[in-house]
Every structure is written in structure tokens, then in C-alpha cells.
């Protein structure tokens, strides 16, 4: 049917629009005010559950023997860690630099790890989910190491020592990245029948991601609406996050082309775990900086929608 075909073809834009509209409709109905704490709690449970299920299905389709570092991983890690360190050094040397918030927003956008859903999009686009998964693990570990080292230079937190910061980041990363991976390994080797059944679910992970995306966009809109940042600063942060998004997708694809893996490298560097970025902004920097994660979520999902549209057109020719 045309309606079903339309929904399948435009899943991501529909999910983004649904997430934004749902937030405004829900908050615009005064009678629903008492339900907000329960809805917030439900979302806190549903979102990680969706991500876990999505990653579990994706990891079941990835052969563990294919999870090994490749050369473009090193270049991308150098770009993310290097840019983050350079910006931190700049702010340390010039603490009263005009537009410090914008520089911090760029730091957040550069060091933010690859989105857990990136493997799903990479598979849809024809890239290597195994190479993407390997990089996702590596960049999360690098982020856990480098953020506690450099952030105290510009935002000293007496209570956030290196060990505490490292543990905080791992506590956010481990359940939603490594647990689905370990569960997929268990099913692959101990429950082969269940594994075959999961592998047959061709597009289930993608549609689970679409639901998770709608929720993430709703959270993003909430963070932007409730932000106390002036409109001028919000526009500046939106611009900085857009530049970071464009540069990282371009650099990833350019480097990946040299190793015949432009799709995976582009998604690895460009598609970010923006919910994690918002949390990092609040925890290690300032609530103002965290807005960058919300805007980045919009930009990279718009670009992902365009890539999927272009891929679909190529397949229909």
C-alpha cells in the first residue's frame, strides 16, 4: 500500500517529526501535568531497553572474528582526541577567550563517541557493521580516558577525580554497549536456534531505532526548550554543532575512501551518541554546553535521512 511504502521510505524524518510534535502536544495539555513524573520514568526505562534490543539484534548479525582494528580507526581516534585536546589547551591558555561556550560546544561535539545506533544505519547503507562496532568500542574507551584528563583544565571539579569521572563514563557506556554484545555472543554459541531466528529479523533493528530516535528527539527538544541560554548563544551553538557535523562526516568519508570503507568511517566519525553528549555536557561542563548535543542530534539525523533516501534511489534504478 502507498501509505505503508511511504512510512518505510521516510521512517527517519517521520520519527524525528513525531518525537518533536509529541513533546509539544504532551506539554501543551494541562490535564496531563500530573503524569509527567511517571512518563519521564517510563522513558528512562524504555529508551535503554530499545537501544539494548536494537544493538543485540545488530550484534547477532556480526561475526566476532571480524571485530578487529583497522587503519582508519587510528586516524579517526587521532582526529577526535586531537581536536578535543587542542581546544582544551586553547581554553586553558586563554581562559577569557570570547565565545568560550562555543569552543566548549565544539569540544563536546568532537569527543562524543559514535552512536550506538550507527551500526544499524551503516548496515542499511551497505557499510561494514563489524568495523563500525569495533570503532564504537574503541572511541568509548578513549573518551572515558581523555575526558577526565582534559576537562578539569577548564572546569575543575574537586569531587570529580580521574577515577570517579572514568567510572561515571563507563557506567553509562557499559550497560548499553557491552551487555548487548555479550548477550549476542552467548546466543550465538549457546543458543544457535535462537540466533538463527534473530538473524532472520531483517529490518527489526532499524525500526526499533526509529522508535528510539523519536524518543531521543523528544528529549532533545525538551533540553533546548528548557535551556536558559539566550537565543543568540543557541544560534551560535547550533552553528558550531552543524560545522562539527559536516566536518566529521566529510573527514570520516575522506579517510575511509583511502581504505575502501567510506560508509563505515563516515558514520563512525559523524554519527554521535547525542544523549550521551547531553549528559557529558551537564556532568563535566555546563548546562549551556549540553545544548550542543541536542542540536547535533538534529543535524546528523537529517543527514542520515538524506543518505538513506539517496541509497534507496540508487537501488531502485
Q: What is the pLDDT of residue 162?
A: 66
Residue 16 confidence (pLDDT):
78
* 128/262 Cα distance (integer angstroms): 10
Count of positions (residues) in the chain: 317
Q: What pLDDT, on the 0 to 100 scale, is given for residue 269?
A: 92
**What's residue 288's pLDDT?**
75
- Exposure b/e, 69-98, CB count within 10 A at least 16 = b: ebebbebbbebbbebbbebbeebeeeeeee
How far is 207 from 190, CA to CA, in rounded Å? Answer: 27
Place of cell 576537562: 151
| pLDDT for res 254 | 95
pLDDT of residue 20: 84
d(C-alpha 239, C-alpha 69), whole Å: 33
Short-list 281, 248, 206, 215, CA closest to 75: 248
pLDDT at 78: 95
CA–CA dist 223, 114 (Å, integer): 21
Supply the DSSP symbol for 69: -
Longest alpha-carbon distance in the chain: 61
pTM: 0.80
Q: How many CB atoms lie within 10 A of CB 104?
A: 26
- The residue ranges of DSSP E strands in 9-61, in sequence order, are none
| pLDDT value, residue 257 | 94
Q: What is the pLDDT of residue 266?
A: 93
Q: Going from the first residue of the chain to its last (317 residues), give the mean pLDDT of each consecutive group of 10, the final group possibly shorter.
A: 66 80 86 85 82 80 81 94 90 77 88 82 85 87 83 71 73 74 86 84 74 79 73 84 94 93 92 81 75 85 86 74
Amino acid at each position: 500500500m502507498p501509505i505503508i511504502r511511504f512510512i518505510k521510505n521516510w521512517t527517519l524524518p517521520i520519527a524525528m517529526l513525531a518525537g518533536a510534535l509529541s513533546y509539544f502536544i504532551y506539554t501543551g495539555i494541562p490535564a496531563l501535568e500530573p503524569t509527567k513524573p511517571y512518563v519521564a520514568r517510563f522513558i528512562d526505562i524504555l529508551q535503554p531497553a530499545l537501544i539494548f534490543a536494537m544493538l543485540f539484534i545488530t550484534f547477532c548479525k556480526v561475526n566476532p572474528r571480524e571485530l578487529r582494528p583497522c587503519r582508519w580507526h587510528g586516524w579517526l581516534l587521532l582526529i577526535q582526541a586531537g581536536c578535543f585536546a587542542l581546544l582544551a589547551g586553547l581554553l586553558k591558555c586563554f581562559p577569557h577567550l570570547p565565545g568560550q561556550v562555543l569552543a566548549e560546544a565544539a569540544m563536546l561535539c568532537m569527543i562524543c563517541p559514535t552512536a550506538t545506533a550507527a551500526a544499524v544505519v551503516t548496515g542499511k547503507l551497505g557499510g561494514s557493521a563489524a568495523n563500525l562496532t569495533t570503532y564504537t568500542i574503541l572511541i568509548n574507551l578513549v573518551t572515558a580516558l581523555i575526558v577526565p584528563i582534559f576537562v578539569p583544565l577548564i572546569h575543575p571539579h574537586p569531587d570529580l577525580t580521574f577515577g570517579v569521572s572514568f567510572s561515571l563514563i563507563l557506567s553509562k557506556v557499559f550497560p548499553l554497549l557491552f551487555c548487548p554484545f555479550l548477550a549476542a555472543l552467548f546466543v550465538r554459541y549457546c543458543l544457535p536456534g535462537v540466533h538463527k531466528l534473530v538473524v532472520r529479523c531483517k529490518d527489526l533493528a532499524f525500526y526499533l531505532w526509529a522508535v528510539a530516535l523519536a524518543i531521543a528527539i523528544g528529549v532533545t527538544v525538551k533540553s533546548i526548550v528548557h535551556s536558559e541560554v539566550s537565543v543568540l548563544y543557541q544560534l551560535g551553538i547550533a552553528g558550531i554543532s552543524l560545522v562539527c557535523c559536516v566536518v566529521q562526516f566529510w573527514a570520516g568519508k575522506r579517510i575511509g575512501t583511502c581504505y575502501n570503507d567510506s560508509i563505515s568511517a563516515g558514520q563512525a566519525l559523524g554519527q554521535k551518541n547525542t544523549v550521551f553528549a547531553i549528559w557529558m555536557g551537564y556532568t563535566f561542563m555546563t548546562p549551556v554546553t549540553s545544548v550542543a548535543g541536542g542540536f547535533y542530534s538534529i543535524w546528523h539525523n537529517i543527514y542520515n535521512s538524506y543518505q538513506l533516501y539517496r541509497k534507496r534511489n540508487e537501488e531502485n534504478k
